[in-house]
Structure 1
């Protein structure tokens, strides 16, 4: 029995939510995942998971063992990394987590440049607007928008995250150009689907605030979908500057309401303090700061 492998499978099954999802993550069959769990239970003489036809949940003993497994696996990863820390040349797998829009517009091409500079490093970029657990999910570093509340992480400031309001010239010719946020309800506005549940971006003149209209001509859960609709002249868009920068430069979209834009949000590159010695990570941090370091 490979005890460490079985512990890894248990952690994956719990965090993925099902044997099938863990199997896909670990490149195993669901049957093999189940066998690893059974071997663990036989080895320990205790049931770790309560199983039903649709789901499984940790027993009390299983919950305690799961937490211990995560700590053991992290220590194993740290021990393995000691060899890498002794090498001057960055190498190995570099796992990065980033928000979707910022990730595909800036982080993905920047990571590609880094990998070209360091051919012994392999990259794994995970794009999600959920906050990742660096230790639990095995990420070396993450890009986070907003304040960082975890004091266990090193947080290096990057360029702020700014929003832009824009529309295609054709739309403005048909519907006119809004000069004040109070005019937005009379326009066709394009909204991110998340804003329908949690409106966070507000326009302001310093004394009064306005929200982006809840009644949208089109809502979409991806900024690229809204960008495509805006380029077709469907309506006004409010999206990150990094997503619309090239369209604005080419005049395909025109900026609007620049005096009322939402306040920029801080962006940080974060990583665990005890991993800063890894050559692949330290060089990546240097690369990111050189490319996206906070503006003076």
Structure 2
């Protein structure tokens, strides 16, 4: 028999004063009540209750065991309540992994609004373009750009991560406006680099089903696109970056989109989380909000 169940039957029998009363309260037969208590006494090697046809009395050991059982059962109830509350109310720490550029420019404002809405949640946000193992590193939510490898993670699609090309009005006034991707070879391009400066930087464009690849050059490379964005607004060259971020710079007049007739690279983006029969409310609410904000339109 399950020991916690037997402990509950024992406590109820003591509180109600008889096996019959306990059986009626729990919904089992008096004989089953007796079996639960007998099982406890056998496993402990002690007598918990002295019973006669008219009354029952706790032994000294039975009294001490009864008090401890009440505390144990109370802790079990508290644990169940906590688990249920965490499933129904967003709370606790949420560990998230996201790509550097998307996380810095797009995700952080969303996180700020989320934390304002759910004051019982704290977020530990890791921004990196490296591969992470969510189970090994303890991440509960991951945002990934690119084709997904086979895994046990559950994925929900977000809007594709689209890249466009921009430059500052001052740069274009001085150097002219490229009309085709091929024109970029004579311009200063701000290239995103993973640290290997010997690798050529290639920008890919498509138009009417045709793809064109251009090897761009420039005097500035960086593995931090925020630095490249700042360089572009300062007039140092042409940058390729995420459409949603550059749209704000374009609206503010700090940058101008070039080659609008050509589509830049577009990669799938997904939010992933480990499988769970009942994800906690913090995970559900964060992912639902993320899909609403960044999902396919």
Residue 260 of structure 1: SS of its match in structure 2? coil
Question: 1:138 & 1:185 partners in 2: Cα distance?
Answer: 44
Q: What pairs with 1:229-240 in structure 2 (closer than 5 Å)?
A: 229-240=231-242
1:92 deviates by 0.9
1:248 deviates by 0.7
Residue 106 in structure 1 maps to residue 106 in structure 2: yes
Deviation digits for residues 9-56 of structure 1, max 9, x if unmatched? xxxxxxxxxxxxxxxxxxxxxxxxxxxxxxxxxxxxxxxxxxxxxxxx
Residue 145 in structure 1 maps to residue 148 in structure 2: no
Task: Name the structure 2 match of 1:163.
Answer: 163
Question: 2:274 & 2:249 partners in 1: Cα distance?
Answer: 37
Deviation digits for residues 210-229 of structure 1, max 9, x if unmatched? 2341x222111111111111
Cα RMSD after superposing both structures: 2.0
Residue 193 in structure 1 maps to residue 196 in structure 2: no
Asked whether the 8 Å contact 1:95–1:139 carries over to 2, the reply is: yes
Give 1:246's match in structure 2, choosing from 238, 245, 248. 248
1:105 deviates by 1.2
Asked whether the 8 Å contact 1:84–1:91 carries over to 2, the reply is: no
Deviation digits for residues 108-159 of structure 1, max 9, x if unmatched? 1111211111111111000001122111100010100012223301110111
Task: Name the structure 2 match of 1:220.
Answer: 222
Question: 1:186 & 1:254 partners in 2: Cα distance?
Answer: 18
Q: What pairs with 1:44-123 in structure 2 (closer than 5 Å)?
A: 85-87=83-85, 88-123=88-123
Question: 1:198 & 1:143 partners in 2: Cα distance?
Answer: 27
Task: Name the structure 2 match of 1:288.
Answer: 290
Task: Name the structure 2 match of 1:21.
Answer: none
Give the count of matched residue pairs.
214
Residue 86 of structure 1: SS of its match in structure 2? helix
Question: 2:80 & 2:176 partners in 1: Cα distance?
Answer: 62
Q: What pairs with 1:197-212 in structure 2 (closer than 5 Å)?
A: 197=199, 199=201, 201-205=203-207, 206-212=209-215
Asked whether the 8 Å contact 1:165–1:255 carries over to 2, the reply is: yes
Question: 1:261 & 1:276 partners in 2: Cα distance?
Answer: 41
Asked whether the 8 Å contact 1:102–1:242 carries over to 2, the reply is: no
Give 2:264's match in structure 1, choosing from 243, 247, 262. 262
Asked whether the 8 Å contact 2:184–2:214 carries over to 1, the reply is: no
Structure 2 length-normalised TM: 0.67
Residue 149 of structure 2: SS of its match in structure 1? coil
